[in-house]
Every structure is written in C-alpha cells, then in structure tokens.
Amino acid sequence: MKTLKKSIASLPALAICVVASTAVAAPAADPRPAAARPGDVPRPATDRPEAARPREAPRPAASPADPTPARAGCDAKKLCDAKKLCDARKLCDAKKLCDAKKLCDAKKLCDPLKVCDPKKLKHPDIVCFKRGKKKRKKKLSDGWHPKLSLGASMSMIHTQNVPGVDDGLSLTLGAVVSASLLYKMKQHRWLSNLSLVHGWSKTPTIAPMVKSADELSLKTEYQYHFTGARSLSLVAGLHFAAPVAPGDLVLPEDTTLMLNNVDGTQVLDALQKNKRYRLTEAFAPLVFKQLAGVNIRPYKTILTSLDVRLSLAGQQVWASGYAVNDDEETPELDLVELESFQQVGIQLEANLVGRLHKRLVYAFRVELMFPMYTSVDTELSGFDLLNTDLSFKVGVKMSKWASLNYVFAAKRIPVLVDQWQIINNLVLSISADIL
C-alpha cells in the first residue's frame, strides 16, 4: 500500500521531466528579434506565426443559377402574404424558397403549417386542411378511369287532427345514380357521364303516388388539350336527355280539360278526382344534341374554377303527348300538344364550381343556345327562340356517406313549351362511392 502511494506521488515529477526533455530536444529559437533576421519582413509583435493561425474552411463559390444563395436571407414568416395566401401558386415559388425540396412542390405546399400561419389565412380550412403532412395528388395516368356513385333519399310525415294540415301520409322516395368513364391518352381524353334522378311522392290530398322528379342524362365528348396552352381545349360531343317513366296528371278534384292540338283544333275532356291522366309516354320528350367547339378555362385557383365553352350545336327533339299550359282567363285547364322539331345554332356554356369550406361546395351552370334555323313554323322570332338552361347547387358534406344538397334548376325551350320549367329541391341524401 505504501509503495502504491509513493508511485502516485511521483507522477507530477515524471511529467515535468518529460516536458523538459521535449524542450531540450527541440531546436533552439533564434534569440534575435524577428525583424533582425535576414530576409524577413518586419511585422507587429502581436501577430502570430502562420503555423499558429487557424485555417478557415474554403467557401464554395455561389453559382448564378443556384436558387438558394444564402439561408440567412430567407425568413419563413416573410413568405406569407395575407392577401395572396388563397392562391397556392403565389405562395410557393421554388426559386425563392430556402429549401425547395422540403418547403415547396412548385405548385403545392408540402406542409402549409411550416410556411404560413393559419391564423393569418383568409381561408385556413382550404389551404391548411390538416395539421399533418399534405398528401400529394397522383397525376392522372393514361388509361381507363371509372367512377360510380349511388344515392337515396326518403321523407315520411303522418299527421292527424293538426289544424290547417290534411290528415294522412306524406311520403317521398328518391334515387340518384351518377357514373363517369374517362379514357386518357396523352393530350386526348374521352369522357362519358351518366346521371339519373328519379323520385316519387304521395300527399294526403292525392291518393296515388305521382312522379316528382325524373331525368336521365347521358353525355359523351372528346377533348383535345394543347400542351402549350393547358387552359385551352377542343371539344366535340353528344348529349341525350329524357324522362324514364311516363308522365301522368293527377288532381284532387274533378276538372275539365281543354286539349289544344298542333293543327289548331280544340277538344274538351274530363279528369276525375285522384285518377291518372296520361300526358307523355316513357322517354318522351327525348332531346338529342350534338356540338363541336372550343373550351377555355380563364380562371382557376384552389378555391374555384371557371370554364367557358363556345360551340356550334344541333338539336333534335322527339315529342308526343301534352303539357300543362293553363290560361287563367278560361275555366278549363289548358293542355297543349307537344311537337317534334330540329334546330341548329350557336351555344354558349359557362360552368363555375368551387368551395367556401372544406365541406361546403357550390356549382353554377348556364347554357344558352341561339337557334339560327328551326324546322317548324312558329310565331316566335329573334331572342324569343333562345333556349335557356340554368342550374345552381349548394352542398354540405356532413360525412363520407351523407350530404345535404339544395338544387335550383330553370329550363326553357320555347318551341316545345313556351314557359319556364322550374325545380327547387332540398334533400338529405345518403350515397356510397362504388368505384
């Protein structure tokens, strides 16, 4: 133990000896001052020798094409401008961001919360949907892309001894089918859409079930998109529209009918209470339209987009039966006979779609066709012959399978029936995406 203590105590002395021997082994320095040595340039005494100075790491030369010359000049808080946050294309510029690979995807933000503050956004629910990483949308590949969605709606009310309300059952049933098939090959696209809206209703005042909504629409069109101008495309297509079920007239009281035929004759008829009077057969009237023109998208953001289409259109209408066109000055209920005809003219169509919230969407569509040729004789002329189709839709997506939709539609084909056909529909629908 004593020997160990002596060994530890001798360590400092041993270290001093090693240092001394190292100093002796080193070459002796010149005792003369630095300025006195021949060939040397005088320098201040405070300067250290070149060997003692720490060498600086070489700085890489900045390339003129480098989009990020310095990280110090980039501040994430300055990237956001409250007036431009609604447009992702203005938010994100790969040439101006500090780290283009982590912050920016040229057109879309990889993570909105890293670049902008949701509290300063005009539409935080649109730009920053989730607090996680934003999934990139897959680019539409060449090939077939089918979609199918089914929906149903129902309403039932039974009343008894309610003041001001007829006793009985009110029932409404409806079904919606929406399908699309897209074939894409580079700049070429072939798109087909199928839409079916069908509904029946019953009220306490009318015993039988009557048709409340019935429209079958089939559209197919070819599109060619230019590579240099993505907002411009050529379009050619066909459109079929017709009701599926026959149309009946049912009234809660006995009524005298006045049938006004196309040849100018008039025929009286009688309709009994709660009895069906056949007006049109299935798939009548049938509208078949052909068009060819150009489509342009002048405005598009992450919130909304606008498409405008100008085309040359031809329209054939096959009609039979009668439609209600009552004259209030006569005691009878007036029915007018439907007539088939053909038209050729210029068609202007505009579609505006967008969203105000991640669950609130809207769509507005207007279609105007000015006929330059009509196959039948008519008293109408000029803009009185203008065919108009308007629709407006607002939808609230409550969940993946339930939505509340309001649809307003107004249609006018003056050669067929010279009056507005107006539909207002508010329905809570349950749907499922099959494909």
Extract the tokens encoding 273: 């209470």
pLDDT greater than 60 at residue 193: yes
* Chain mean pLDDT for the chain: 77
Phi, psi at 83, each rounded to 5°: -85, -10
3-state secondary structure of 368: strand
- How far is it, in rounded angstroms, from Cα 113 to Cα 132? 8
Residue with the bigger pLDDT between 137 and 164: it is: 164
Query: What CATH code would you report for 143-433?
Result: 2.40.230
Q: Over pLDDT 90: what percentage of the chain?
A: 45
Residue/partner pairs of 124-130 with CB below 8 Å, 24 or more apart = 125/357, 125/358, 126/86, 126/302, 126/303, 126/355, 126/357, 126/358, 127/85, 127/86, 127/88, 127/91, 127/302, 129/358
Strand blocks (E) in 186-205: 188-203
Q: Which of 94-108, 133-147, 176-190, 385-399 has the lowest mean pLDDT?
A: 94-108
The rounded distance, in Å, linking the Cα atoms of 37 and 41 is 9
Provide the residue count of the chain.
Answer: 435
How would residue 435 be classed by pLDDT, with cut points 50, 70 and 90?
low
Query: Which amino acid is located at 86 in the chain?
Result: C
DSSP reduced 3-state for 286: strand
Strand locations in 328-386, DSSP E?
Answer: 333-337, 341-357, 360-374
Q: At a CB cut-off of 8 Å and minimum separation 6, what does 221 contact?
A: 190, 191, 192, 235, 236, 237, 238
- The phi and psi torsions of 241 (rounded to 5 degrees) equal -150, 130
Give me the amino acid identity at 186: K
Is the pLDDT reported for residue 88 higher than 70? no
Q: Which residues pair with 294 in a beta bridge?
A: 234, 310
**Over the stretch 418-430, which tens digit does the pLDDT of each residue have?**
889 888 887 777 7
How confident is the model at residue 426, as a pLDDT? Answer: 79
* Lowest-pLDDT range of 106-115, 212-221, 346-355: 106-115
Question: Would the pLDDT of 65 be above 80?
Answer: no
Whether the Cβ atoms of residue 386 and residue 424 lie closer than 8 Å to each other: no
pTM: predicted TM-score of the whole model, two decimal places? 0.66
Residue of 318 and 124 predicted with greater confidence = 318
Domain ranges of the chain: 77-127, 143-433
Question: For 197-241, what is each residue's pLDDT tens digit?
Answer: 999 999 888 889 999 889 999 999 999 999 888 899 999 999 999
List CB contacts of 57: < 8 A, sequence separation 6 or more: none
Whether 170 and 203 have beta carbons less than 8 Å apart is answered as yes
pLDDT class of 96 with cuts at 50, 70, 90: low
Closest listed residue to residue 38, CA positions, set 30, 28, 29: 30
* Beta bridge partner(s), residue 235: 223, 293
Least confident of 14-18, 132-136, 258-262, 358-362: 14-18
CA distance linking residue 259 with residue 34, whole number of Å? 127
Element (H, E) at 325: none
| pLDDT tier, 24 (very low <50, low <70, confident <90, very high otherwise) | very low
Q: Which amino acid is at 58?
A: P
Q: Would you call 100 helix, strand, or coil by DSSP? A: helix
Band of residue 135 on the pLDDT scale cut at 50, 70, 90: low
| Residue 387 clears pLDDT 50, i.e. is over it | yes
Is 331:256 a contact under the CB 8 Å cutoff? Answer: yes
